[in-house]
Amino acid sequence: MASNCYPCILDRAKFECDLVFSSENEKKAAMEELLDYMAGHKRGVSALVGTERENIIKKRSGNPDPYRKLKEESNRVAKDLLPIAEDFYEKANDKVEALIRIAAAANSMEFGVKGHDFDNSTFSGVFRDTLSEKLHGDIGELKRRLGSFSKIFYLTDNCGEAVFDLFVIDKLEKMGKQVVVGSKSVPVLNDVTREELSAMAKMGDMDIKVIATGNVVGTSLDHIEPEARDLLFDPAWLILSKGMGNFETISEYEELLKGRLTYIMRAKCEPVANVIGVPKGTLVAKSI
């Protein structure tokens, strides 16, 4: 937890309270319960403290998926923008870099992060430019790894973004890679679940294996599903990890995955950007 994490977690709680509660008293009660929890977990991993925020709000509201409507809207927006990604890929001289750029740019589709402005209604106007932004990372190293590994464990993040992930995964499979996708067991934030991604793949006539990773923000070893754990620690699998939640949790044990792990994201907050060593908002493909 960085100092920035505290107001960010609370800001997102207010954003979510506004989604699911109608009265001010309900919102205050949820915020106060979260404050009590945070006071007792000052050294926690920010993604896991954020998970408790989700649990509090879901429990108090009786709503198991507060982001459902925003997720559905994000998927519609992404489907409309997919031709831009397809055109970007087809025209690219470096196909691997193009895929990584598409995957990183799509990680912009995130709500409620303090200092990161995102709106479904305006993303279409900036997506094409986002694809061409500066990308922090060693593309040469990632190409080497893709050449060395025939199996890829692809950890997803958000809905909307997942539409582009399926495009990237399809191209990786056409390169001869075996891809298994890891998505959330249950709704958490606006992350795509195993059930949702499987349905999206089926609608796109894709036959891919999707497994559940867990029920928390990110991929925590304390909360991971057994099948996902097995793939994570199998040395035959290259790991492509999407998003900041996965970075916040996996970075706690990334040394165990050294030589096989690449984070792909937009560094949307200062603490994550500072750890990686990039300006906030940068597209990132960081190999460990």
For 228-276, how does the pLDDT look when each residue is reduced to its tens digit (9 = 90+)? 999 999 999 999 999 999 999 999 999 999 999 999 999 999 999 999 9
Beta strand 283-287 with 261-266 is antiparallel
For residue 220, what are the contacts with CB-CB under 8 A and spacing of at least 6?
Answer: 45, 47, 48, 214, 249, 252
Distance CA 46, CA 91 (A): 39
Mean pLDDT across the stretch 191-207?
96
Helix (H, G, I), strand (E, B), or coil: what is residue 281? coil
Nearest to 195 by CA among 60, 64, 13, 99: 64
Q: Which helix (H) or strand (E) element contains residue 261?
A: strand 261-266
Of all helices (H) and strands (E), which one includes residue 1? none
What pLDDT is attached to residue 122? 66
Locate the domains of the chain by residue range: 5-61, 68-287
Res. 99 pLDDT band, cuts 50 70 90 = very high
Q: Which of 32-46, 87-101, 243-257 has the lowest mean pLDDT?
A: 32-46
Cβ count near 245 (within 10 Å): 30
Q: What is the pLDDT of residue 37?
A: 95
pLDDT digits (tens, 9 = 90+) for 116-133: 455 666 677 778 888 999
Please state at what angle helix 5-20 crosses helix 24-39, rounded to 10 degrees. 150
What does the chain come to in residues?
288
Q: What whole-number distance in Å separates Cα of residue 277 and Cα of residue 266?
A: 13
- How many angstroms separate the CA atoms of 202 and 238, rounded? 24
Residue-level pLDDT at 49: 95
Helix (H) or strand (E) run with residue 136 in it: strand 135-137
The pLDDT, as a whole number, for residue 112 is 45
| 8: its two tokens | 């960010």
Mean pLDDT computed over 213-223:
97
Q: φ and ψ at 120, to 5 degrees?
A: -55, -35
Q: pLDDT over 90 for what percent of the chain? A: 88
What's this model's pTM, rounded to 2 decimal places?
Answer: 0.94
| CATH 3.40.50.300 is held by the domain 68-287 | no
Q: What is the mean pLDDT of residues 198-204?
A: 95
> Contact at 8 Å (CB) between 85 and 102?
yes
| Tokens coding 73 | 């809207």
> What letter does residue 254 receive in the DSSP assignment?
G
Q: What is the pLDDT of residues 141-197, one digit of tens each?
A: 999 999 999 999 999 999 999 999 999 999 999 999 999 999 999 999 999 999 999
Contact 7, 112 (CB under 8 A): no
Beta strands 209-212; 237-242: pairing state: unpaired
Report the candidate in 116, 111, 124, 110 with the shortest Cα–Cα distance to residue 78: 124
Output the CATH code of domain 5-61: 1.10.8
Give me 227's structure tokens. Answer: 């099948």
